[in-house]
Structure 1
Amino acid sequence: MTDLKPRKMDFGFDDADVPFLWNPENPAWSSMSNAVSFLAVGFEKMIVKLIRQAKPLMTDPAVAEEAVAFMRQEGHHSTAHRQHVAALIRRYPGLQNTLDAVIGEYDLLTEATSINYRLAYTADLEATFTPVFKLMLDNEETLFRPGDDRVASLFLWHFVEEVEHRSSALILYKAVVGSELYRMRMAPSVFAHVLKVIRIACAGFNQHVPLGERKVDALSMFARHRAKQRVLTFFAPYLSKGPMPRAFDGLPIGEQLTALKGAALSQTPGHDPAHENLPVLADEWFRRYDAGDDCTRWYTAEPAASGANR
């Protein structure tokens, strides 16, 4: 029996404008996380279709149950991120083309690749989430608290549920495909595709969101782009797309290296996400949700009458 709980959340993105620079203290993080929202819409749409295609191949009822719960969580994530992205598109209509391009990349992946490949893709990418999201959640005071509470709460919910279902994608992969060697062999193409999609989103931000509102070159998360831009703007400063800080520049370097090591180890044979070192905030989030707190306003909502401690 799966322990996953699909939780449908409404963050009220229709209630008021949603700023692109949702955490004004860290414009690079605002841009990077916005790109994650765009990717989530396409990636999680792909997951839902993949599980529907792969479910007949799952002969173990427990695996099939895990697949359905996993699919429902990812479906809710896709819906919520689509609402966030729609709010950004209302402010910057050109971003509709960016969203279409991102979704198109995943639609093409669905059409052009096998179920086995997409199961490996999902397992490889999902395996990196717990160490990477632990870095983010452990630094929520810097990355999330200073920002728009709706956007911050969206990402907190998404990331803690990714921690909750950290083993799901690998369970499904092992049940249908099984080969650890195949998963490792596919990893380079998987992460090349992920970076391609993120680059599409960031390039769209540079094109459609004025520099005065994004404050940074949205592509500054890419080291090769930073190096190229430094050379170009040295000779032609007018070509600059803006400052090029990184989203995690202010985070402890030791924690960044731990996250990087965890992401690398997640691609090795025998990796078991169940044994990951988990972010403390995940337990707090689940406790507050179960106590009835409004987790769509993580930082500003009043605690529930049940008295869950913050």
Structure 2
Amino acid sequence: MTELIVRKLTFAFEEHDVPFLWNPENPAFSSMANAVSFLAIGFEKMIVKMIMQAKPQFTDPAVAEEADAFMRQEGQHSTAHRQHVRGLIRAYPGLRETLDAVVGEFDRLTAETPVKYRLAYTADLEATFTSVFKLMLDNEAALFRPGDDRVASLFIWHFVEEVEHRSSALIIFDSVVGSDIYRMRVAPSIFRHVLRVIRIACAGFNKHVPLEDRKIDALSMFASYRYRQRLGKLLPRFAMPGHGPMPRAFDDLPLREQLIALRGVVRSQLPKHNPALEKTPALADVWFERYRDGYDVTRWYTAEASGSAANR
């Protein structure tokens, strides 16, 4: 029996304006996280359709139960990210075009690739999440705490649940396809697609969100883009339009922790990878305990402050 819990949370994005720069201390991370919201909507829509198409191939009832819980958790993530993105679109209506473009990329993937490819896509991408999100959650004081509590709480919830179901996508893939060679062979095209979708989102931010609101060039998260911009300054014939400063989201995080996360991402794509053996962020255990105790996880920081004040 699966141990996954489907949690239905609402983050009050309708009650107040949703800032693009939701963590003013780190504009690059604000932009990166916003891009994740756009990607999550398309990706998780693809996952739901993929699981429905793959259902006839589940021969093990335990796998079928895992797949159903995984799909429903991802569906809840998609719903919450839609609320976040709707708030951004209210402020910047042109971002509707960006959302449609991002979702369209995943709709094409659903229409044009076989189920086994999308199972590999999901398994490969989900396998990276524990290492990447551990880096973020281990540095929550810098990345999340200074920001809008609704947005920060949304991402903390999403990321700890990705840790919770870190084995699900690979379990499903192994049950239906079961080929590490295939998963590794298609990995390059999968990650090219992921980067293309994120680039679409970031280009949309540059186009539709004024620089005074985003503070940075949203495409600065791409090393190749930063290189071309630097090259253009040295050689004018290669000059490209600039869209603002180009800091990176993790510039202030310990380099050692970044390298550990990178090694984890590489390891996640190797044969016989077992996500259950990966080190998980301590914050995830705290989050699950507080959720069980009835803590308002949709206000991760302000509920904490309210609780501390009430206890004094």
TM-score (norm 1): 0.96
Where 1:175 maps in the other structure, the secondary structure is helix
Query: Compared with structure 1, are the counterparts of its residues 302 and 261 closer, same or farther at alpha carbon in structure 2 (3 Å cutoff)?
Result: closer
Separation in structure 2 between the aligned mates of residue 103 and residue 302 of structure 1, nearest angstrom: 35
Q: Which digits, 9 at most, give the CA deviation of each residue in 1:165-215, with x for residues without a partner?
A: 000000000000001100000100000000000000000000000001000
For 1:85-100, list aligned pairs within 5 A: 85-100=85-100
Offset from partner CA, 1:250-271 (integer Å, 9 cap, x none): 0000000000000000000010
Q: Is the 8 A contact 2:232 2:240 kept in 1?
A: no
**Which residue does the alignment assign to 1:122?**
122
CA contact (8 A) 2:42 2:102 kept: yes
Shift in Å, 1:229: 1.5
Residues 106-147 of structure 1: per-residue CA shift (max 9 Å, x gap): 000000000000000000000000000000000000000000
Distance 2:228 2:128 in 1: 28
Cα deviation digits, residues 264-296 of structure 1 (max 9, x gap): 000000100000001000000000000000000
User: What's the secondary structure of 1:146's corresponding residue?
Assistant: coil
Give the superposed CA RMSD. 1.5
Q: Relative to structure 1, is the Cα distance of residues 199 and 182 closer, same or farther in structure 2, using a 3 angstrom cutoff? A: same
Question: Quick check: 1:20–1:214 contact (8 Å CA) kept in 2?
Answer: yes
Matching residue's letter, 1:271:
H
| Equivalenced residues, count | 306
Assess if the C-alpha contact under 8 Å between 1:291 and 1:304 holds in 2: no
1:210/1:65 CA distance change after superposition, 3 Å: same
Q: Say whether the 8 Å CA contact 1:102–1:197 is kept in structure 2.
A: yes
**Mapped partners of 2:241, 2:76: distance in 1:** 40
1:59-98 equivalence runs, <5 A: 59-98=59-98
Partner residue of 2:262?
A: 260
- Residue 302 of structure 2 corresponds to residue 300 of structure 1: yes
Q: Which runs of 5+ in 2 are unaligned?
A: none
The one-character-per-residue Cα deviations of 1:227-254 (angstroms, maximum 9, x if unpaired) are 1112335549993210000000000000
Say if 1:233 and 1:239, in contact at 8 Å, map to a contact too.
no
Instruction: Report the equivalent of 1:176.
Output: 176
- Structure 1 unmatched ranges of 5 or more: none
Q: 2:263 corresponds to which letter in structure 1?
A: K
**Aligned partners of 2:229 and 2:240 also within 8 Å:** no
8 Å contact kept, 1:25–1:146 = yes
Instruction: Give the whole-Å Cα distance in 2 for the aligned partners of 1:303 and 1:23.
Output: 18
Matching residue of 1:194:
194
In structure 2, the partner of 1:58 is: 58
TM-score, normalised to structure 2's length?
0.96
Aligned to 1:47: 47
Find the counterpart in structure 2 of residue 288 from structure 1.
290
Would you say the 8 A contact 1:40–1:78 is kept in 2?
yes
% identical equivalent positions = 71
